[in-house]
Structure 1
């Protein structure tokens, strides 16, 4: 199958490219390299096209590539930036996704598999782990953009027959992750500890997140490319809450030290607790996580040592 990965030189995207090629697919990568890195694709045979998905040439690229499936991962991923510059966030995320959807509609793409955010779109749910049936309560422009894109893609499905599946990801971590932002906290801790630099947690260190290893996430994307799950959102996480302090201890153990973090004030837009119920993905896609946090952290630290 011929496929396209937008944001394919990034952390999750490049790992997905590796998986798709391993599965025998012909891959075209689109990335503007604002966050992605060409070296992430050093071992890939994929055709690489440097392109901003918000720009005017997306249509030409999709027409030429003729992908059966587009995995749309290109995005502005910084929640704090979305709070400070919401228009910029919407331009990159919402308008970028619409650009891709329009090109896909025009040129016969069968399906878009979209990277949504399970850690953001549900806000602060009353019960955890949260299922897809929970109310949507975005608390940042970033989260609002993810919800908007899901709605737009489902509208395209009804209007034009362009199929879609949305994967609401927990906090993904693993090799090639940028040490930037909340979602990159494992990489941040690992890089700073290995360099002997101080680490920092926000608030009292009790905020919890659901951490899912990147290899498990790309398996979910590859599985969602089929005919199952049209128009559906699937949570992709472990269902396990891990606090910032617990994660800090795990990374310190993998590094081989006993570093103590500094504490900083809580940040605007932070969600206190998050964990995803992935029962629907198990039921429909046959997906479940296979790498526990302790092992995943060890693999990630080994990557940063190299």
Structure 2
């Protein structure tokens, strides 16, 4: 079996917390394609047109323990993708992040443990948990000094997952994901720089860049992220935390130039805004652990993935006319 042949999950009951978001919709559809019995939980699907009719949708709020317990009941594998904040949120509110994401997850873990869930796969953040790393690419063993409430919350959840594994034997794997991009990503979320820039480029509008554009990020296509989640279910080795990225860094200015070329626009004006306190200068993930421990490899090249995303956005623009 190769990365072109993801594992099958025939009849396996899978729950996706946050199933209506960018990552959740892609994951739900992929699991259904691989034979799983999929339930997706959230407030509303970001785009109901994108969610397969083979996925059972459960409407609810993460803060409602009754709704969460009902969603978890009978599930074997649970994917925890929910977060009430994003890395670049202005005016960070650490107490809010703690109450909604961390304490909410603790209640959720109690529910999963009581329901005898077989495994939890958690969407952590490779872009924020390390903070300003001393060297790149960053391995999982690097020190973690996040500089955003979002990153602190993700790291705290990883630690609580480890505690629940130690105390109760609850199995888990945390995937520290780089900057995911691809079809279906919202242009409104502050972490979706590729989607936001592509949308503006296709409309012939100036590109907005935070800081001087020399910030370097690791961009990984959504197809590769989803593949990593599928392999995470079957992984039974000793590691509990793995990076998922491309292993390659691109400056935001380079991203802007590539988007201009793919969108077929003349060189667009660029509006440079003040840098954000939560942005580290460089973030590139070392993916040698996940490629050594699982059959997973990143398969979508940057320009190929960018072209596919542009085609999807163009088709959606035409469909809405």
TM-score, L = length of structure 2: 0.90
Residues 68-111 of structure 1, C-alpha deviations (whole Å, 9 max, x = no match): 11011011242233752222222232123223211110111010
Partner residue of 2:279?
A: 270
Does the 8 Å contact 1:30/1:48 carry over to 2?
A: yes
Unaligned runs of 5+ in 1: none
1:107 aligns with 2:115: yes
Offset of 1:227 from its aligned partner? Answer: 4.2
Q: 1:165 aligns with which of 173, 198, 209?
A: 173
1:191 aligns with 2:199: yes
Using the alignment, how far apart are the partners of 1:37 and 1:157 within structure 2? 35
Partner residue of 2:46?
A: 36
1:47 aligns with 2:50: no
Does the 8 Å contact 2:92/2:148 carry over to 1?
A: no
Q: In structure 2, the residue corresponding to 1:211 is in which secondary structure?
A: strand
Q: How does 1:1-306 map to 2 (within 5 A)?
A: 1-33=12-44, 36-41=46-51, 43-57=52-66, 58-63=68-73, 66-81=74-89, 83-229=91-237, 232-257=240-265, 258-306=267-315
Q: 1:231 to 1:158 in 2, by over 3 A?
A: farther
Offset of 1:55 from its aligned partner? Answer: 1.5
Cα RMSD after superposing both structures: 1.5
Using the alignment, how far apart are the partners of 1:261 and 1:102 within structure 2? 48
Does the 8 Å contact 1:173/1:183 carry over to 2?
A: no
Q: 1:229 to 1:44 in 2, by over 3 A?
A: farther
Does the 8 Å contact 1:165/1:229 carry over to 2?
A: no
Using the alignment, how far apart are the partners of 1:54 and 1:122 within structure 2? 28
- Of the structure 1 ranges 175-184 and 140-149, higher mean CA displacement relative to structure 2 is found in 175-184
* Count of residues in correspondence between the two structures: 302
Using the alignment, how far apart are the partners of 2:250 and 2:237 within structure 1? 29
Using the alignment, how far apart are the partners of 1:85 and 1:252 within structure 2? 35
